[in-house]
Amino acid sequence: MRLTRTPPIPFGYRTSAFWYALGARIAVAAPRGVVRWAARRVGDWYGWTHPGVRRTVARQLSLADRARGDGRRTPVQRPFREFSETVADFLRLAGGRGGQIVAEIEVSGLDHLQRCQQSGEGILFLSAHMGNWEAIGAWGASRGLRVLGVARPHPNPRVDEFFNAARRRFGLAVFPLGGDPRLLAEHLQGGGVVAIVGDRDFTGRGAEVAFLGARTRLPQGWIRLAQQTGAWILPGRHRRGLEGGRRVSRLEFREPWRVAPGEAGAAEAFGRGSAFLEELIREDPGAWTVFDPVLLGGQPQ
């Protein structure tokens, strides 16, 4: 019998499961305002103690701000704070205190979702690394949607177990990146929802494209999946912020569309999806929580 060796957990991630479990206890026990304040401070700390990551974020924010074209500059700390607040809200969801987080979500473009639902066909929800997709999944589950989110596995399997157990409790199933795509197709063919963040290529097989004045690679698997199943593409995002002095958590759906068959249909869908994702980031660069160097110099070949 051939034994398979479990890959070693990178040193920096070995205690992650303990800290997430402890964080969940604190996030549930402390007032939410205190948790948010503490999360922002953790984001500040991480940004300042990881100068390489900070330089990457600063460069990519500069490109996104330039693409926005209005002269505004996004504070470098904002993506770190956004991500930390997202984690804090997830930990409250994990601890069973997420009812308020879901209840406070306001929805715009609900008619777009309803149009897709009425067809009885599957839905591919396309978005970027912005907002809190676990909260979106919990909101969808509360409305009877069967949501399957595509997620990259954590380097520490115990963290994955913690995350996925929490997600299942509030009705969100998870498909690990790199898993059997036939499972996604079956879910869509059964009228389910698959949530995909399409602004990063984790496989190295994505197509190169001009993006935010630079070049990057974006995944194309969602296009083949839509062609195979006839699923709707439902673009959207989750946004947090202040409006008129009031804190807002808003889920926005945009006009749904379908992918035409053949290579021409795939190329048109890739261009349309890429333009949408670029638009989301230009609208609010500070909400884009990507910390790896994905925007490269120059234009695609």
pLDDT by residue, tens only, the chain of 301 residues: 444 455 666 656 678 888 888 888 888 889 988 999 999 999 999 999 999 999 999 999 999 999 998 999 999 999 999 999 999 999 988 887 778 888 899 999 999 999 999 999 999 999 999 999 899 999 999 999 999 999 888 888 888 888 888 888 888 899 988 889 999 999 999 999 999 999 999 888 899 999 999 999 999 999 999 999 999 999 999 998 877 778 889 999 999 999 999 999 999 999 999 999 999 999 999 999 999 999 986 544 4
Q: What is the pTM of this model?
A: 0.91
Strand pairing category for 105-108 and 193-197: unpaired
Q: What is the pLDDT of residue 301?
A: 47
Q: List strands edge to edge, sheet with 193-197.
A: 105-108, 246-253, 232-243, 123-127, 193-197, 147-151, 172-176
Task: Find how far residue 271's CA is from the centre of its chain.
Answer: 20
Which token pair is 91?
């930990």
Q: Is 214 left (phi over 0), alpha (psi -120 to 50) or beta?
A: beta
Q: What is the pLDDT of residue 13?
A: 67
Q: Quote the CA–CA distance of 209 and 261 in Å, as a whole number.
A: 21
The residues spanned by each domain of the chain are: 14-287
Strand (E) or helix (H) holding 149: strand 147-151
Q: What is the pLDDT of residue 300?
A: 46
Q: What is the pLDDT of residue 11?
A: 53
Q: Quote the CA–CA distance of 191 and 193 in Å, as a whole number.
A: 7
